[in-house]
Structure 1
């Protein structure tokens, strides 16, 4: 519920904000005065329950973070400020290295998956959120550097066919020991799926489908892509890849995940009434 009076005829508070796409359903809302003010979560939405921030601060101090009480602005004028849940806790000289280390610990599940990491390069700030009540959604992660351990190349999904086959086998023949089960938690532990909140989503580059990610990789490799329209009238319309895109950090699980429960069970919601 949006805390605003139902009597007003204002349109702006009733419209879905750009940062809410993927987190709040754009279609499922009541008619009448409460239209747009009563919202429903999207299908894979999750609300954070919160986790303690002290171990995280300790972790960063051990990796070169200077606490704010000892910070000398004249000595380090270009240091990046580090905020944890809105509180300035310290500064760091090499933010790129620190962010990659903290991100790596989250992807390896040493850190809670619901912790949000936001690096604002322009403002020279690194913001971490571990508080409760943040709306988050899962997306596939894209490998940023070649990984010799797993063999996953840069620009590919961390979710491999091997992992998908294991999940399919597990679905057909569930293991007797529950500890051997991979499941959704296993995908998070493997770093294949990551939860983003609205703040972290602002600093991420999200591809719409794995197919679009493949086209982007081919384009970056200099492979000439054929613009084959074909004769199929029911083919999916593909958006042309943006040549100025530097890299993708994540990929959508499925575009239909922007919808809520009620909107997602409507057949052909993007067609007119003849189809439904």
Structure 2
């Protein structure tokens, strides 16, 4: 009665008695590039199911990973750090010197971010089971609120400043948007003035 069913591509392959450990292990393997970054891991706690999808044709999108390891000194912050930024900066210099084929082998680049677990591809079904914060700034605000600090007042003089979310109900974030506009797909994001009504014909 306490076992969790394990499905691979929709086929029931077995059961597991410690699903939390299994999911954490699978996520760790994916973030360390031991299994493909395109594999989806979905744990449905209510239905006691753990689904693994490896089939083609699933629409995935990239998100920054938030470090949730309580033993980590970086807990609650993005996995992305200054070392990753430094490696990306070095890629700029390599771009001038190396041809594209060599750059792909020697450079860090986007693939390096995916391999080191900084960026994770998430499909529509896995997106249902994760908590996504909109910006790294919102992540910092959430950390400060949890620590008991009050937020400074917004500057009313700057009309172009991004409006902050008022309530921060979630305490645990698992991922962060790379940019808020990436919620929309390619087609939706090129529509001019999407936040305005269509004018009457």
Q: Normalising by structure 1, what TM-score?
A: 0.64
1:213 aligns with 2:121: no
Out of 79, 103, 116, which is 1:158 matched to?
Answer: 79
**Aligned twin of 1:126:** 50
Name 2:126's counterpart in structure 1: 200
The 1:228–1:258 alpha-carbon spacing in structure 2 relative to 1, beyond 3 Å, is: closer
CA distance in 2, matches of 1:230, 1:162: 36
- Please say if residues 63 and 122 of structure 2, whose CA atoms lie closer than 8 Å, have aligned partners that are also in contact: yes
2:183 & 2:23 partners in 1: Cα distance? Answer: 29
**Unpaired runs of at least 5, structure 2:** none
SS in 1 for 2:60: strand
Q: Distance in 1 between matches of 2:171 and 2:158?
A: 32
1:113 to 27, 37, 41: 37
Provide the rounded CA distance (Å) in 2 between the counterparts of 1:130 and 1:261.
24
Unaligned runs of 5+ in 1: 1-76
1:1-42 CA distance string (max 9 Å, x none): xxxxxxxxxxxxxxxxxxxxxxxxxxxxxxxxxxxxxxxxxx
Counterpart in the other structure of 1:258 = 183
Q: How does 1:1-276 map to 2 (within 5 A)?
A: 77-146=1-70, 153-174=74-95, 176=98, 177-178=102-103, 179-242=105-168, 244-261=169-186, 264=189, 270=195
The 10-residue stretch of structure 1 (162-171 or 212-221) with the greater mean CA deviation from structure 2: 162-171
Q: Classify 1:180/1:141 alpha carbon distance in 2 versus 1 (closer, same or farther; 3 Å).
A: same
Deviations 1:100-149 (A, max 9, x none): 0011000001101010000011111111111111111000000011455x
TM-score by length of 2: 0.87
- Following TM superposition, the consecutive aligned residue runs of length 4 or more in structure 1 with deviations greater than 6 angstroms are none
Question: Which has the higher Rg, Structure 1 or Structure 2?
Answer: 1
Instruction: Find the aligned partners of 2:117 and 2:109 in 1 and give their Cα distance.
Output: 13
Aligned to 1:103, what secondary structure does the other structure show? helix
2:61 and 2:122 in contact (8 A); partners too: yes
Between 1:138-147 and 1:104-113, the stretch displaced more is 138-147
Between the two proteins, the alignment pairs up a number of residues equal to 193
- Alpha carbons 2:142, 2:171 under 8 Å: kept: no
Structure 1 position 270, deviation (Å): 4.0
Alignment RMSD (CA, Å): 2.2
Q: Distance in 1 between matches of 2:144 and 2:88?
A: 28
